[in-house]
Amino acid sequence: QVQLQESGPGLVKPSQTLSLTCTVSGGSISSGNYYWSWIRQPAGRGLEWIGRISASGTTIYNPSLESRVTISVDSSKNQFSLKLNSVTAADTALYFCARGVFWTGYYSYYYMDVWGKGTTVTVSS
Amino acid sequence: SYELTQPPSVSVSPGQTARITCSGDALPRQYTHWYQQKPGQAPVLVIYKDSERPSGIPQRFSGSSSGTTVTFAISGVQAEDEADYYCQSADSSGTYPVVFGGGTKLTVL
């Protein structure tokens, strides 16, 4: 079955760029009607969706983070990536990647059916 | 911004039915999905499209929708069901395509 694994630095300095990669195994990132998401969760708090990307590169972001976020996909490596610039301590969180099922029609919907285990990123000097 | 409102906590005794609500203005026009998250683990999808159960999710998990409120229920609650539960939906305009509720801590007494 499809599995996702996040990777990247666990410590980022304030004002710098947070960069994470999600590697998809057990299936192709290009197959099916899937959009690939990043979600984060500060310690002891709820989930916050960051944004998603299709295999063809179509993106949509959370408006609250849009000015600082870039999500990209590399189908040849079966990976998608997150860049969050100008980070502050408020960006310290557990970051998850997830596969999402997307349907657009009279009633559109998007839900995330496969999640990575998450990776902790701390913003500190 | 668009918000989904959940109660912070729900407590039930084993064997009882737990119900968790999620309220939002767009819910009559948008599907809602539910995730279970246990400590130190990633969320797991337990209900999608208001009331559908993914493969492998116990039948005691169910979902329903009525107007601006959707309800997630667990019948015959077991100790292993103690977890945080999050609803997820979207606003009607497309500005907020993915929004999570604040989460509900389910405690099994």
State the Cα–Cα distance between residues B2 and A45, nearest whole angstrom.
18
Helix (H) or strand (E) holding A66: none
Q: Is the confidence at residue B106, as pLDDT, over 90?
A: yes
Q: Is A106 on the interface with B (CB under 8 A)?
A: no
Closest CA to B49 of A91, A110, A11, A88: A110
Structure tokens at A36: 């690939």
Search chain B and give the residue with CA nearest A97.
Answer: B42
Contacts of A2 (CB under 8 A, 6+ apart): A24, A25, A26, A27, A99, A114
Position B46 scores a pLDDT of 98
Position A108 scores a pLDDT of 86
Residue-wise pLDDT tens digits, B3-46 = 999 999 999 999 999 999 999 999 989 999 999 999 999 999 99
Of B35, B98, B101, the CB nearest to A110: B98
Q: Is B49 on the interface with A (CB under 8 A)?
A: yes
State the Cα–Cα distance between residues A111 and A49, nearest whole angstrom.
11
List chain A pLDDT tens, one digit each, 125 residues: 999 999 999 999 999 999 999 999 999 999 888 999 999 999 999 999 999 999 999 999 999 999 999 999 999 999 999 999 999 999 999 999 999 999 888 788 999 999 999 999 999 99
For chains A and B, CB pairs below 8 A equal: 64
Residue A17: phi, psi to the nearest 5?
A: -105, 130
Contact A110 B97 (CB under 8 A): yes
Cα dihedral A40, A45, A46, A47, rounded to 10, equals: 0
Position A31 scores a pLDDT of 86
Position A107 scores a pLDDT of 81
Position A104 scores a pLDDT of 85
Of B49, B98, B102, the CB nearest to A49: B98
Position A90 scores a pLDDT of 98
Chain A residues near residue B49 by CB distance under 8 angstroms = 109, 111
Contact B43 A96 (CB under 8 A): yes
Residue-wise pLDDT tens digits, B45-94 = 999 999 999 999 999 999 999 999 999 999 999 999 999 999 999 998 88
Contact A47 B98 (CB under 8 A): no
Position A105 scores a pLDDT of 81
Q: Is B24 on the interface with A (CB under 8 A)?
A: no
Of A52, A96, A111, the CB nearest to B45: A111
Position A32 scores a pLDDT of 83
